[in-house]
A and B are shown apart, each in its own frame.
Chain A
């Protein structure tokens, strides 16, 4: 299997690479369109701000490459948000793979923003190993995707939101599997086993 991580200005590429190394998986990090298209699986990482990142993707024509992919693609954190249609983060038009709008968390009482730390997952789709149901994953985000028809796992913070999604060949997680201990490793393995 040939696995690639899309190389762009995402903050967590190093951490995702190390997580894959720990799983003993071979992979390449590339922004070469041909290499991405030819891969068996693609990881689309992401830490950063939506509009800057979308600009970067468009400037490098990676937006067209990503949306046209037919093999399994895993979006992580901002990667997942950018797979939606629109983000309230600086009113950004995104890739439009999932027809959702990414919304801003409004702090409520003791519930601070960003949503930062470990929170539990409730699974509703089988692409993620069942052993992950009700386990805790590590989140850091100020924007969220509401629960929708493509939600694969739900987490509650201020409102219930999509912790994971799936549509056709596109898979996505809001949390950081690369930083979520054994639970995160199981999620990555679930994607790798697809």
Chain B
């Protein structure tokens, strides 16, 4: 059976992982390749590397980093951050990335989803959506969740699917960083609405939260960053816990 996926997310700036990482048995936690390889060994199903560089100069470092990641890591990975054209994507996929995630640029120019999907196939286009509940409406935000837009989560996700996105990565800005669990309600609505896989993101604080995302939220995958980086939840333990709870998981 197809398994649910556990996806650690690494933020990269100037070629280094940004958030503090507290890991035993790792020489250089700031090295995205080594950290990614560690997660792969621990049983992560996929990895996401998000370039949060502010300048073009820093971004150049990222492209060469992607090749280094592909050279050393034997599981699929997605790269994202600042992608706004077909020309941005080609070198990343050629370097060995399996998928790219797009966010703000797609909100600005929805046609980008069609173009990327046609050029590279839907399976490698992840539409990342950051949303926050405003006046009882899940409102799409851009620029790392800072800028509200006039788009709404559900209609935007559906449009993304129709334009050719292969996956939706939904982050609840209301839950992100709280460690109180994923945004279950919008997740289950997204999963009922869409025919493409949905990745839950934002709010993971303990192992039980993943059960909720998979069982109640019906998510296909769950993404988290700091709880993995700080060792609060360890992937092998998380996976055996999910297995005990009858979630189909790759051991």
Contact = CB atoms under 8 A, between A and B. Distances in A.
Given A18-B96, A112-B196, A112-B220, A179 B74 contact: yes
Interface in A143-194: 156-157, 176, 178-182, 184-185
A45 to B, nearest CB: 12
B196 A18 contact: no
Contacts of A114: 122-123, 166
Interface stretch (A31-39, A63-71, A95-103, A117-125): A117-125
Interface string A9-51: 0010011001101100000000000000000000000011100
B123 A181 contact: no
A117 B5 contact: yes
B121 interface: yes
Nearest to B122: A114
Given A107-B195, A115-B2, A22 B120 contact: no
A92 to B, nearest CB: 15
B2 A118 contact: yes
Contacts of A22: 71-72, 74
Contact of B75 (A107, A112, A181): A181
A118 B195 contact: no
Contacts of B220: 112, 117
Which of B67, B74, B218 is packed against the most chain A CB atoms within 10 Å? B74
Contacts of B52: none
Interface string B198-231: 0000000000000000000010110000000000
A140 interface: yes
B24 interface: no
Contacts, number: 82
A118 B3 CA distance: 6
A111 B75 CA distance: 22
A49 B122 CA distance: 11
Contacts of B121: 11, 47-49
B75 A179 contact: yes
A86 interface: no
A157 to B, nearest CB: 6
Nearest to B198: A112
A16 B93 CA distance: 13
Contacts of A120: 1
Nearest to A119: B2
B5 to A, nearest CB: 6
Interface of B: 1-3, 5, 40, 45, 67, 70-72, 74-76, 93-96, 98, 120-124, 166-167, 195-197, 218, 220-221, 250-251
Interface of A: 11, 14-15, 18-19, 21-22, 47-49, 107, 110-120, 136, 138, 140-142, 156-157, 176, 178-182, 184-185
* Ranked 5 nearest A-B pairs via Cβ: A136-B250, A14-B96, A118-B250, A118-B3, A179-B76
Given A15-B96, A22-B74, A179-B76, 18 more contacts: A11-B124, A14-B94, A15-B70, A18-B70, A21-B71, A114-B122, A117-B2, A118-B2, A119-B1, A119-B3, A138-B75, A138-B76, A140-B98, A142-B123, A156-B1, A181-B40, A181-B74, A184-B74
